[in-house]
Structure 1
Amino acid sequence: MSTEANSTASDEAVTAASNADPAATTDALSSAAPVTDPTQLPAEPMVNALHDSAVAPTSMLDTVTGWLVVGGPVVWILLAMSVVALSILLIKLWQFNLPRPEGSRAVNRSLSMWHKGDAEGAIAQLNTRQTVPAVLLLAMRGMRNGTDQTLLREELQRVGSYRLNQLKLLLRPLEVIANLAPLLGLLGTVLGMIEAFQQMESAGSRVDPSILSGGIWQALLTTAVGLAVAIPVVAIHSWLERRVERIAASLNDAVTQVFTHQPKPQHSAKVANAA
């Protein structure tokens, strides 16, 4: 009996399954199956992902722009000063590295020939584009032509001072920027703190700590920008100033050697004169 009942129940289940709606069965299977077609993905998450990928690269630019807006005119002035300092740096790098004011190799070769008595060869090694060789060339020509040494020294001092002043050109603006940048940053901080405390006063007893903290970081932003501009400018100015001092020392040493080491006539020249 139990076996017949079980077989009857199985037959009824099979019949019910066969009589079921095929469309409903298909819908149930399609809803249960995972979606693999990208075109069937929801549109909103895809749009959000594209928006995030487009905004991410410009986040740094937005941050800098926000700082410029928050910092106010002080940050804009510091930014302009940094552009001026960068321009001066590029000009001085070209001036110090392209012509090479020291001209060490040419000066050493020229002085070596001068000490050996080859005045013409020593003069031929020098040019007027570089600072030290140009002044040294003037000194050697004056000594060769027998110019009065007092007058020659005065002329050399004039030309040397002019050449060194050309190298010192634009160093003064760098020094001014290095001195003013921290002061401007401090001024922006003081103005920002005044504004923050004014907001606290207007809030009365309902003081929100976020108001004070926001005002403080906005005020300190100008100090940070001022220091960021001043520190590299101070380093660059010191390096350029030291470079000018080294060139002045090389110039003084080379000209002194022209006066203290008179050219000795070569042996061949003596023999030719004796003949």
Structure 2
Amino acid sequence: MSDTAMLSSSAIFDGPLGQLFEMGGPVMMVLAVIALAGFVTFIYLMLCGALYAPRLTGRLKKTVKLWQSSPDNVKPAQVRQEAGTYGRMNPLLHLVANTIEARQDDKDPGQIRETAARDAQHALEPFEAPLKIIEVIAALAPLLGLLGTVMGMMEAFSAMAATEGRANATQLSGGIYEALTTTAAGLVIAIPFAALAAWIEFRLRRIHKVINSTLVTVLNSPAQSEALVQPDATEAPLEPEVVVPEDGKKPEGFQMPAKQQLAHAAG
């Protein structure tokens, strides 16, 4: 069994892949390492995005709408409990629940906004480092490929100088071909990682927009139901109170209310 594994591994390194590494030299090994690192980073980012990315679920939308229409009926502890294990991995759920809880406790609005902004930034931090790694790989791969090409060209012209210019075109073109291999490899690595970096950045902007709009909705909604008390139209308006001086004399311009006038006239 071990002999079979050794034969298969030797076949891999003696095949086209081995020839590619032999032509590219040490720069090709570095390109292979950063390509593997970028692939692992992308897989990690996809797993984190599937489990821990802030997302506005249907249940969370209903909670926000209920908070807008009837804030007294929203219970943050109950919202967390009903979300389930997978739902509690959603950072946006905790952002909304914590903000509603702070609003219900009548905390300082400025402090609530600062806390919500800080927690929103923390929710996006796990995705910023992998994105930066992918961006660095996309920028570094073509430069490494160019470095390998320059080193290969230097080696080819050094061999030509050693033969005092007697090297034929076949030997020179072979050296140039080997030198350009690293440039091609660098571009092959850089192009997909550049596209991935742009896609991930677009997704993060969308997530940031969703977080911002949701928190603004929660912060601008009233913390409790405000019932406007309408005056009863059937109730007669109160008549103004008349203050009579202690000496019993009526002040100038004094006019007795209509009911009192009728009472005096009757008797």
Task: Give the alignment's TM-score, normalised by structure 1.
Answer: 0.70
Q: Give, in angstroms, the shift of residue 100 of structure 1.
A: 4.2
CA distance in 2: counterparts of 1:148 and 1:59, whole angstroms: 66
User: Which structure is higher in RCO with an 8 Å CA cutoff and minimum separation 6?
Assistant: 2
> After superposition, where does 1:46-195 map in structure 2 within 5 Å?
62-121=15-74, 123=76, 124-126=78-80, 128-195=88-155
Q: Which amino acid aligns with 1:87?
A: V
SS of residue matched to 1:129: coil
CA distance in 1: counterparts of 2:124 and 2:90, whole angstroms: 11
Q: Which has the higher helix share?
A: 1
Pair member with larger Rg: 1
Q: Give, in angstroms, the shift of residue 121 of structure 1.
A: 4.1
Contact between 1:182 and 1:230, CA under 8 Å: does it hold in 2? yes
Unmatched segments (≥5 aa) in structure 2: 1-6, 81-86, 228-267
RMSD over aligned Cα atoms? 2.5
Aligned partner of 2:215 in structure 1 is 255
| C-alpha spacing 1:106/1:119, structure 2 compared with 1 (3 Å) | farther
Contact between 1:71 and 1:222, CA under 8 Å: does it hold in 2? yes
SS of residue matched to 1:98: helix
Aligned partner of 2:232 in structure 1 is none
Q: For this pair of structures, how many residues does the alignment match?
A: 212
Percent identity between the two aligned chains: 28
CA distance in 2: counterparts of 1:158 and 1:169, whole angstroms: 18
Q: Which amino acid aligns with 2:18?
A: T
CA distance in 1: counterparts of 2:158 and 2:64, whole angstroms: 71
Q: Give, in angstroms, the shift of residue 235 of structure 1.
A: 1.1
Contact between 1:193 and 1:219, CA under 8 Å: does it hold in 2? yes
Q: Which amino acid aligns with 2:155?
A: E
Contact between 2:24 and 2:181, CA under 8 Å: does it hold in 1? yes
Contact between 2:54 and 2:90, CA under 8 Å: does it hold in 1? yes
Unmatched segments (≥5 aa) in structure 1: 1-53, 268-275
Aligned partner of 1:199 in structure 2 is 159
